[in-house]
Amino acid sequence: MGQLHNKPNRNFPQPFERMAGEDQNNMKIAVLLANMGGPDSLQSVEEYLFNIFRDPDMIDIPLRGKLRDRFARWLARKRAPESRKIYNQIGGKSPLVQISRHQAEILEKNLNAEQKANFKVFPAMRYWHPFLHEVWQTITQNDFRQVIILSMYPFYSSTTSGSIIQMVERLKQRMDFDEREIIVIDRFGNHPAFIDVMVGQIKRALSEHPKTHFEDLLLSAHSIPMRRIKNGDPYQKEIEQAVSAIRRALPDHIRVHHSYQSKIGPVKWLEPATSDKIDELAHAGVKNLLLYPLGFVADNSETVYEMDILYKTVALEKGIEQFHRIESPNINGAFINVLKDIILEKLNGR
């Protein structure tokens, strides 16, 4: 179930209450779909990486202030050439922001069809345009009565939704909104309706490939440093809960495995790594493998490059004959309806 936070461990804000005499259909509510973002050109790759590396919530390095910025700039410059090669293979940019814009457009239409209020939905990115702080400035210049920040990271981690919460806390210092007017939905990965969406995607993929006889499903989630888990980050537990829920909802003959991808740096991250798990399954004799991007709600470089190109190559080289990656929820109608329902649940205090 999604949760509401202004700060970690703070009591939930009260649900929105209509002011006396205010027309409910005219209430303006801003919804921010907060995600990571991605470079929109090869030229923007280095600056995008710099924004990631300078964020202490995302990258663990014991540096602060100008020292951290200098290190982040050096690291971004060092990694940019290899990253540009990756983005060049997938069209020269990340597809995430464009998909997020489409998600926002459809969600806004669906919310307003409920005739509960006047919703405006904005994509709001943490590390590239449209930046969360830029969108915040836009909504403060308009007559919005409530702001809802929906983290598009389904499973909570201090590295992702936690970073969004920290940014919102900094933006709130401007006193643009009363604290009671701000709701942050920081997770929804184990919301039953979202589990149903993922299971539906998997079952659809199975039905679309009846002759392949897929019996092995690998759920690949983004990894995070083990140090975060040891410090109480709930991410691994939430991932494992979702894996269990998906497994229970699928036919018994489907063998469900899970792994973690996209490790950065030399420190220990959550394992097993997706490439290692693929190798293990190939050695066990698996010939047909379905891959699902667990926790990715919009395709990005980690799905269209790592999964579709890198992991597919690994799988075929190791002897797996049929490898199929299920796309992220993207603009799946059932997924957009889940987002709508989660938002309305929160507004209605459920």
Work out the average pLDDT over 38-47: 97
The 10s digit of each residue's pLDDT in 314-329 is: 999 999 999 999 999 9
Choose among 293, 303, 300, 100: nearest CA to 198: 293
- What percent of the chain clears pLDDT 70, i.e. is strictly above it? 91
- pLDDT tier, 312 (very low <50, low <70, confident <90, very high otherwise): very high
User: What pLDDT is stored for residue 350 in this prediction?
Assistant: 59
Tell me what the pLDDT averaged over the chain comes to: 90
User: What pLDDT is stored for residue 264 in this prediction?
Assistant: 82
Work out the average pLDDT over 223-243: 97
Listed in sequence order, the residues at least 6 apart from 301 whose beta carbon sits closer than 8 Å to its beta carbon are 38, 86, 87, 90, 94
The 10s digit of each residue's pLDDT in 51-100 is: 999 998 887 777 778 898 999 999 999 999 999 999 999 999 999 999 99
The 10s digit of each residue's pLDDT in 168-193 is: 999 988 766 777 789 999 999 999 99
The token duo for 194 is 């979202």
User: What pLDDT is stored for residue 13 in this prediction?
Assistant: 31
The 10s digit of each residue's pLDDT in 234-257 is: 999 999 999 999 999 999 999 999
Distances, alpha carbon 43 to alpha carbons 81, 85, 88, in Å: 10, 12, 11
Predicted confidence (pLDDT) at residue 5 exceeds the cutoff of 50: no
User: What pLDDT is stored for residue 57 in this prediction?
Assistant: 84
CA distance 74 to 96: 26
The 10s digit of each residue's pLDDT in 6-33 is: 333 333 233 333 433 345 557 899 999 9
The 10s digit of each residue's pLDDT in 96-143 is: 999 999 999 999 999 999 766 799 999 999 999 999 999 999 998 888
Predicted confidence (pLDDT) at residue 263 exceeds the cutoff of 50: yes
CA distance 6 to 179: 8
**210 against 31, higher pLDDT:** 31
Packing angle between helix 192-208 and helix 333-347, nearest 10 degrees?
180
User: What pLDDT is stored for residue 8 in this prediction?
Assistant: 35
User: What pLDDT is stored for residue 25 in this prediction?
Assistant: 59
Choose among 289, 192, 187: nearest CA to 248: 192
Q: Where in the chain is the domain with CATH 3.40.50.1400?
A: 192-325
- Contact present, 343 and 199 (Cβ < 8 Å): no
Distances, alpha carbon 350 to alpha carbons 9, 186, 260, in Å: 19, 15, 33
**Does CATH place domain 192-325 in 3.30.1220.10?**
no
